[in-house]
Chain A
Amino acid sequence: DGGITQSPKYLFRKEGQNVTLSCEQNLNHDAMYWYRQDPGQGLRLIYYSQIVNDFQKGDIAEGYSVSREKKESFPLTVTSAQKNPTAFYLCASSIWASRPGDYTFGSGTRLTVV
């Protein structure tokens, strides 16, 4: 079955450490997105990518980095510059960036700073 796989489900980061969250999709979707969700709040866009080797900043990109070397993969790195990274991170994809349509979401990664 097609879908989006995020890993790990839970991740613990020490102060000053970079960590990478994985997002893989086998839906042949062009566009991929990363959202952050804080407790009791909505989702905020971190980064998005329309095509391979291209990505753009969303509303809260500071302290994060991404890459899009393959169509199927869109990993998110939370760098030490992100001062408050504890949150729930959701990856999503859509079939064609410029068309309205369904967005498919992964199951999420819960990141905690220890």
Chain B
Amino acid sequence: ELKVEQNPLFLSMQEGKNYTIYCNYSTTSDRLYWYRQDPGKSLESLFVLLSNGAVKQEGRLMASLDTKARLSTLHITAAVHDLSATYFCAVDRAYGGATNKLIFGTGTLLAVQP
């Protein structure tokens, strides 16, 4: 059974600081997704990582994928308050056939303090 674990579950950080969120998954997958969710809202797609060694950056966020270690990281550089949200990683899983299903981690609640 595919499991996806994130840590930390909660992260309080000061503006201007750097930090990393980790996402581990239990079975082979070459596709990893990062999403952002604001309170009471739907999911916003941030990154799709499709191969080992993939690195993508958007603004103060950078995501990477190591399929051999089954690990993805989301690095936050010089955090600002607007980054406060819950961040989810998710992995595709074949569900008894060719169909791929997104399996989500538990999420990391990020609170950026002034």
- A residues neighboring B (CB under 8 Å): 31, 33, 35, 40-45, 48, 50, 56, 58, 88, 90, 92, 94, 97-103, 105-108, 110
Contact = CB atoms under 8 A, between A and B. Distances in A.
Contacts of B40: 88, 110
A31 B99 CA distance: 9
A98 B99 contact: yes
Size category of the binding interface on chain B: 20 to 34
Nearest to B106: A42
Contacts of B105: 42
Interface string B87-108: 0101010011111111111110
Given A48-B101, A56-B99, A102-B48, 11 more contacts: A40-B109, A42-B105, A42-B106, A44-B104, A45-B102, A50-B97, A97-B99, A98-B99, A100-B31, A100-B100, A107-B42
B102 A92 contact: yes
B33 A98 contact: no
Given A41-B106, A42-B107, A100-B50, A106 B42 contact: yes
30 contacts: A33-B102, A40-B107, A42-B105, A42-B106, A42-B107, A43-B88, A45-B103, A50-B97, A56-B95, A56-B96, A58-B95, A88-B40, A90-B42, A97-B99, A97-B100, A98-B99, A98-B100, A100-B31, A100-B48, A100-B100, A101-B48, A102-B48, A103-B33, A103-B45, A103-B102, A105-B42, A107-B42, A108-B41, A108-B42, A110-B40
B31 A48 contact: no
